[in-house]
Structure formats: C-alpha cells, structure tokens
Amino acid sequence: MGDKGSVEGGPNDQTPLHRAILWDDLDTTTVILGDRPELIYETDSYGRIPLHYAAAYCAPEVADRLLELDASTAQIQDDYLSTPAHLAAEGDRVGVLTKLFNRCPNSIDLLNKHQQNILHVAAQNGSVDVVKYITSLREKDDLINQPDKDGNTPLHLAVMNIHSRVVCALVLTRKLDIRAINKRQKTALHIAQGYKGMMTTTTSHFDVFQLNENNFENWRIKMKTLLDSKDAWEVIEKGYTVPEDESNLSVTQREYLSDARKKDKKALTLIYQAIDEKTFEMISCASTAKEAWELLEHSYTTVDKPFLPNDDDENDEKNKTNENQFIIDILKEVYANKNRNPEDILDRKKKAFKDIKDSQTRKELTGALMLMATLIATVTFAAAFTIPGGFNDENPHKGMVVLGRNAAFRTFIITNTTAMTLSMIAAVILITTPFQPDTKSRDDLLGGSALLLADALLAMGVAFVTALYAVLSEQLPLAIFVCCIGSISMAVAYFYYFYILAFVAAKELKFKLLTPMVAYLNKR
C-alpha cells in the first residue's frame, strides 16, 4: 500500500481519490488514477478504499476502472467488515454490483460484522432491484436462506423494515424457506403480525423533528436533546471501539460493548426517522450513528445548498400499516400453501395497492378541477359587469348596452353565461364528490365535472373572441386577425386539456363517461 502520510488528505483521512469519487468528478478521478494508481489501496478513517466510495455513491464507470487496476480490491472489508458489494446493495446500486460480480464473483459471498451477506443488506434497506438481481443468480441460491448473527434471513429483515416489494421479490424464489426461524424463534410472519399488534395498541410514536434544507442548526440542537433524553448521545459524541477478537474480552467489557451497540442502534434509528430518502442515500454508507452524524455535519458545512427536499410525510404511519398488512396477507397465503404460485397472490395485492394510488390521483384531480372551476366562474362573472362597448348615456335608451343589437355581442352574452353556469355546476359536483358512498359514484361525478369544465372552457374562449370582434367590428381586418389568433390558441388549449384529462380519467381511473371519447381520439 502507499504511504498515507504522503497524500494530502481530506476529512476522515480521505485521499484526493476518495474526494473525487465522492463528488462524482470523473475527469479528476481519471487523472489521479493515471498519476497515482496506488491510491486505490488507501483507506479513510473507517477503513474504506476508493472502491467502497464508488459502490456507495453509484459510480459504475469509476468502479470498473478501479477493478481493472486490481479486481481483488472488491474483497477488501472496512472497519465494519463491509465490502464494496455491501455498500452497493445498501444503496440499490445494481450497476456497480454487476461490475463487482463480473470482476470478482467471490466478493459477493463475504459477510459484514453482523454476519450478513449482501442479500441481507439489500433486504434490510429495501433495495428491491438488488434483491431481484441476486435472486436471479442461480449460483447464489445459498444466500437466500442464510441467517445472520441473530438468525435472521433476508426475508426476516425485509419484514422487520416493512419493505413489501422486497418481500414480493423473495417469495417468488423457489428456494425460499418461508418457515425459517431466527434466534428468537420467530418466523417472518410472526414479525409482521407483531408489528400489526403494536400499531393497534399504540396510536403514534414520539415525534421526531424532521430535517430539511433550511433547518439544520435547529435540527441538530433538537436532535441532540432527543438523543440525550434517550441516553444515546454519548455513543455519537464519543463513539465506541469494536475489538478484532471479542472472545478475549472480560464479562464487564462484553456488557459494555453490548450496551454501546444497543445505544448506537437506537441513535441510528432516531436519525433515520428524522431524514428523508434523499438524505438517507447520502449517509447510507454509515455503519454507526457517530459516522452518520459526522456525514450530515460535513455535508451541511461544506455544501452551500444540499439537495434535501422537505416531503410531506403525515400519512407515513398509515402507509406503513397498509404495507405491513399487505406483507401479512402474502406470507399467510404462501405459508399455508393456498397458492403454489405466489404470483397469483401478488396480482391481487398489486390491485389493492393500485386502488390506493388511484384514490390519491382522484384527490389531486379533484383539487385541480376545483381550482379551474373557481377561475372560470370568477373571470366570467367579472366579464358580465364589464360589458364590451359600454352603456348608453343618452335617453331614451339610457343604461342600455351600446352593442345590444350586435350579433357578436349577443353571442358573447350567451357563451359567457354558459361558461359561468357550467363552471358553477361543476364546482357544486366537485364539492359533493368526496361524500359519495362508493368509488363508482365518485368516478362518475368526477368525470362529469371534467366534461362540464371542458365545455365551460370552450364557451369562455368563444366569449372572449366574440367580445373582441364586437368592439373591433368597424376595423374588420384587425378584428379578423385577432379572432384568428384567439381561435387557434383556444383550440390548442382546449384540445390539450381535453386529451390529457381524458387519458388520465379513462386510463388511470376508468371513468366511464370519458372512455368513449378516448377511443374516438385514438382512432383519429
């Protein structure tokens, strides 16, 4: 290995090669590899070589270049015994994992400090693409039912973390032992049912202050207070050391190490609950709470505006409950051998989840249509009191509209009134839609209101064009030109609205009122 002291390091003893891969700088990485190829063996303070970084941060091209220099580096383990393959599995990096498997197949079989293979890690972190890739490798069938140090198989870990898609991928494999038990004598089904029982007796967990791009300083203070109240801050502040050979430890030392591990796991769990998916990917390579905390602090002190979207997770617990019930249903049917082909079960469960997605689509579509109805009603109402051409100021027709006998003006009055009426009817329908007892009624009302608004939009466009024509009729060339422009833009907007809305309604929600129109549009 190279002399680490001769290399200008960054945070956590990172070499320039570590940093270049971390920031996804392919050009700099190529230059460094050309000048200092020995840096591929250098480790940071956590024992991770550049290949670990390439695996964790999804850089398949860089990983392939590193493996070309020395494929055996794929078997190097960090201080937590994690190989690059473990980190790739944790982040669902199938591209990198494929490179590792092709260059060094034996690296896939190594275990981390929890005696977990890469399938354990993928199942635990919901990396469904990696799970599908590994289970497709016949030569790796022995990984499917392999227990970790707690006796948990990948299926146990997927159920514990409520990753239903991973459970689906695992039960489709013929080699899976659905009845496998861990050291607590629990099957995957027992664990899923235990979570359901916990949810029925506990209405909510303690609130964890959520991290976003603008509140890191406040988040750090509140999170530190929470961790301290849970007796878990010390393990982040001071960390703990895992000896290479635990068998030589005294009873007191073993108890201390066991307690430190429990506190570390608790702290890491609290941190994970306070961040979103994007942030989790950023710290997914962390194996301890101390490491995760340092990665967060480093990211916020070195990056001006890290991309950390603040998502709305108010329905997260409800979604977890639904997902857990989904897992229970699958495991029950497979466990009881009611269906020899698990795909039959998945088809029904996928339909149930599609219904949930459709419900969310209905909600969003209702809001959009209500906004449109309000805008059309407001605009047409205002237009009714700002009459084109104005009013007569002279007797005997004082107060009457000047263009009352103009055909274009009369068309404006009719279409403007029609647009306002249709939009108000649509608004009333949309208000009552959520209170309908069944899905079919809600779909029909939502589809009907969409059609009413489409007609209202057309009527409003006609009203606009005819109003312009009425006031510009004495300047015929200009009137015709303006009307043509208005008609073209109106036709494009109307067709786009009608076509897109019809497809959303008929293909996503199966609105019967709009399906014939979609068929007509398809023929054209």
In this structure, the answer to whether residues 504 and 370 fall within a common structural domain is: yes
Among candidate residues 446, 399, 214, the one with its CA nearest the CA of residue 309: 214
For residue 444, being part of any structural domain is answered with: yes
For residue 335, being part of any structural domain is answered with: no
pLDDT at position 196 is: 55
Q: Which of 410-419, 466-475, 488-497 has the lowest mean pLDDT?
A: 488-497
pLDDT at position 155 is: 92
The helices-and-strands tally (H runs, E runs) of the chain is: 22, 0
For residue 327, being part of any structural domain is answered with: no
pLDDT at position 503 is: 55
Q: Please state the rounded mean pLDDT for residues 329-350.
A: 60
Of 168, 201, 234, the last residue of a domain is 201
In this structure, the answer to whether residues 179 and 308 fall within a common structural domain is: no
Whole-model pTM?
0.49
For residue 61, being part of any structural domain is answered with: yes
pLDDT at position 332 is: 77
For residue 91, being part of any structural domain is answered with: yes
Task: Please give the Cα distance from 272 to 210 (Å, whole number).
Answer: 10
Give, in order, the Cα–Cα distances in Å from 387 to each of 203, 209, 378, 413, 503. Answer: 59, 55, 15, 9, 37
In this structure, the answer to whether residues 263 and 163 fall within a common structural domain is: no
In this structure, the answer to whether residues 367 and 258 fall within a common structural domain is: no
Residue 455 contacts residue 522 (beta carbons within 8 Å) = no
pLDDT band (50, 70, 90) for residue 85: very high
Task: Please give the Cα distance from 106 to 76 (Å, whole number).
Answer: 11
In this structure, the answer to whether residues 412 and 494 fall within a common structural domain is: yes
Whether residue 508 is predicted with pLDDT greater than 60 in this model: the reply is: no
Q: What tokens does 432 get?
A: 């009552």
DSSP 166: H
Give, in order, the Cα–Cα distances in Å from 181 to each of 193, 477, 505. Answer: 14, 85, 46
Whether residue 303 is predicted with pLDDT greater than 50 in this model: the reply is: no
Q: Please state the rounded mean pLDDT for residues 368-389.
A: 85
Task: Please give the Cα distance from 129 to 166 (Å, whole number).
Answer: 9
Q: Please state the rounded mean pLDDT for residues 261-288.
A: 79
Task: Please give the Cα distance from 26 to 48 (Å, whole number).
Answer: 19
Give percent of the chain with pLDDT exceeding 70: 75
User: Crossing angle, helix 289-302 and helix 251-273, to 10 degrees?
Assistant: 40
Of 262, 283, 312, the last residue of a domain is 312
Q: For residue 391, list its beta bridge partners.
A: 401
Task: Please give the Cα distance from 142 to 109 (Å, whole number).
Answer: 9
Residue 73 contacts residue 54 (beta carbons within 8 Å) = no
Q: What tokens does 218 get?
A: 């406040």
Helices (H), 385-438: 407-432
**Which residues have C-beta within 8 Å of that of residue 134, sequence separation ≥ 6?**
89, 108, 118, 119, 122, 140, 143
pLDDT tens digits, residue range 404-452?
Answer: 667 888 888 898 899 999 999 999 998 888 887 777 788 888 888 888 8
In this structure, the answer to whether residues 286 and 401 fall within a common structural domain is: no
pLDDT at position 424 is: 92
Q: Is 391 helix (H, G, I), strand (E, B) or coil?
A: strand
Residue 43 contacts residue 21 (beta carbons within 8 Å) = no
In this structure, the answer to whether residues 282 and 420 fall within a common structural domain is: no
Task: Please give the Cα distance from 67 to 51 (Å, whole number).
Answer: 8
Task: Please give the Cα distance from 210 to 310 (Å, whole number).
Answer: 8
pLDDT tens digits, residue range 48-71?
Answer: 999 998 888 877 888 888 998 999
Which range in 8-12, 54-58, 245-249, 490-494 is most confidently predicted, on average pLDDT? Answer: 54-58
Measured in degrees and rounded to the nearest 5, phi and psi for residue 401 equal -70, 145
In this structure, the answer to whether residues 266 and 302 fall within a common structural domain is: yes
DSSP 74: G
For residue 12, being part of any structural domain is answered with: yes
DSSP 73: G
Give, in order, the Cα–Cα distances in Å from 518 to each of 286, 444, 495, 514, 515. Answer: 51, 15, 12, 6, 5
For the chain, give the mean pLDDT: 77
119, 124, 125, 129 alpha-carbon torsion, rounded to 10°: 40
For the chain, the domain total comes to 3
Give, in order, the Cα–Cα distances in Å from 177 to each of 181, 323, 370. Answer: 9, 22, 52
Give, in order, the Cα–Cα distances in Å from 397 to each of 8, 169, 335, 403. Answer: 92, 80, 87, 12
Whether residue 347 is predicted with pLDDT greater than 70 in this model: the reply is: no
Q: What is the CATH classification number for the domain harbouring 144? A: 1.25.40.20
pLDDT tens digits, residue range 89-140?
Answer: 988 889 899 999 988 888 888 999 889 999 999 999 888 999 999 988 877 7
In this structure, the answer to whether residues 192 and 86 fall within a common structural domain is: yes
Residue 246 contacts residue 254 (beta carbons within 8 Å) = yes
For residue 328, being part of any structural domain is answered with: no
pLDDT at position 262 is: 86
Q: Please state the rounded mean pLDDT for residues 365-385.
A: 87
Among candidate residues 364, 508, 513, 372, the one with its CA nearest the CA of residue 453: 372
In this structure, the answer to whether residues 66 and 96 fall within a common structural domain is: yes
Residue 121 contacts residue 142 (beta carbons within 8 Å) = no
Whether residue 515 is predicted with pLDDT greater than 60 in this model: the reply is: no
pLDDT band (50, 70, 90) for residue 513: very low
Task: Please give the Cα distance from 424 to 410 (Å, whole number).
Answer: 21
Give percent of the chain with pLDDT exceeding 90: 11
Task: Please give the Cα distance from 336 to 462 (Å, whole number).
Answer: 64
In this structure, the answer to whether residues 253 and 388 fall within a common structural domain is: no
pLDDT at position 396 is: 65
Of 170, 201, 232, the last residue of a domain is 201
For residue 126, being part of any structural domain is answered with: yes
| Lookup result for tokens 């490179």 | 99
pLDDT at position 469 is: 80
Whether residue 165 is predicted with pLDDT greater than 50 in this model: the reply is: yes
pLDDT tens digits, residue range 202-253?
Answer: 333 345 567 766 677 777 777 887 887 778 888 888 888 777 777 777 778 7
Other CB atoms closer than 10 Å to residue 303's CB: what's the count? Answer: 12
In this structure, the answer to whether residues 381 and 489 fall within a common structural domain is: yes
Domain enclosing residue 114, as ranges: 4-201
